[in-house]
Structure 1
Amino acid sequence: MRMRRHHQQDEDTGIDLTPMLDVVFIMLIFFIVTSSFIKEAGVEVQRPQAETASPQDKGNILIAITADGEVWMDKKVVDVRSVRAHVERMRVDQPDGAVVVQADQDARTGLVVQVMDQARLAGVQDVALAATAGAR
């Protein structure tokens, strides 16, 4: 009597995850490329309150002015005369971004005006002054 051998075919019952991983990596790259990163000024200031304050929703270049008269951009203290150069450099990344000046409520008005003037000289027409929304 002849013995019959059954050749069992090894069926691949696993799921191929390669296409799913490809899609996940493509989505990750898409979100990284399309996201806009907010550059912080680097210092926390006590902003004045305003009844008419409204949030800005597009990417902004932030400039902070402390009560001691320090000007902060991109987490560094800068001289007021170099604000224009810094804004021009940052506009390369955000060409349609606005400049938001975050002045402390005790900052000198003359310094705030100088910083806003330097931003306008850099070619930014949309220069805003940050405030905290007051109680209505």
Structure 2
Amino acid sequence: MARRVSRVQAEDEEVELNMTPMLDVVFILLIFFIVTAVFVKEPGVDVFRPDVSGSERMKPTLLVAVTSEDEIWINRDIYEMNQVRGVLEQLLSENPRAEAMIQADEGSPIGTVLDIQELLTELGVEEINISDEP
């Protein structure tokens, strides 16, 4: 007569879950969110802007700051005017529909600010604002 296997012995076997597929999905989602995230660009220097009333709040994706010492800051680095075109072209290749904002010190040279505005227009940036908020 055949012997029956008891239920108690059958339940003692350990069940092991394979976590590899779940970890693969988690890493794929993490990579997706990192790649699609839009990071706020900061110019790298605080500028003192003149007081002007009546401006509305906006969130630009491309920030350029001009100090009173005629320094041009983009992404926390200082650039000369002849280097700005290459840097802006690179940033616009990453985000072709960028909205630009030029932050200028109260004592910054207006010629530099206008040159940067003209350069952004040549590169095809449709929305360019000059910030007046402190």
Does 1:35 pair with 2:37?
yes
Residue 119 of structure 1: CA displacement? 1.6
Cα RMSD over matched residues?
Answer: 2.6
What is the rounded CA distance, in whole Å, between the counterparts of 1:79 and 1:105 in structure 2? 20
Deviation by residue 1:74-116 (Cα, 9 ceiling, x = unmatched): 2221122332222112100010002211111221222211221
C-alpha contact (below 8 Å) 1:81/1:118 kept by paired residues: no
Residue 69 of structure 1 aligns with an amino acid whose one-letter code is D
- Structure 1 residues 1-136: aligned runs within 5 Å: 8-9=9-10, 10-12=12-14, 17-57=19-59, 60-132=61-133
**Compared CA separation, residues 77 and 17, structure 1 to 2 (3 A):** same
C-alpha contact (below 8 Å) 1:85/1:122 kept by paired residues: no
Q: What is the TM-score with the length of structure 1 in the denominator?
A: 0.76
The structure richer in helix per residue is 2
Gaps of 5+ in 1: none
SS at match of 2:94: coil
Residue 31 of structure 1: CA displacement? 1.1
Residue 63 of structure 1: CA displacement? 0.8
**Compared CA separation, residues 128 and 16, structure 1 to 2 (3 A):** same
Q: Which segment drifts farther, 104-113 or 45-54?
A: 45-54
Gaps of 5+ in 2: none
What is the rounded CA distance, in whole Å, between the counterparts of 1:18 and 1:49 in structure 2? 58
Deviation by residue 1:32-66 (Cα, 9 ceiling, x = unmatched): 121012222121212334333223235x1211100
SS at match of 2:70: coil
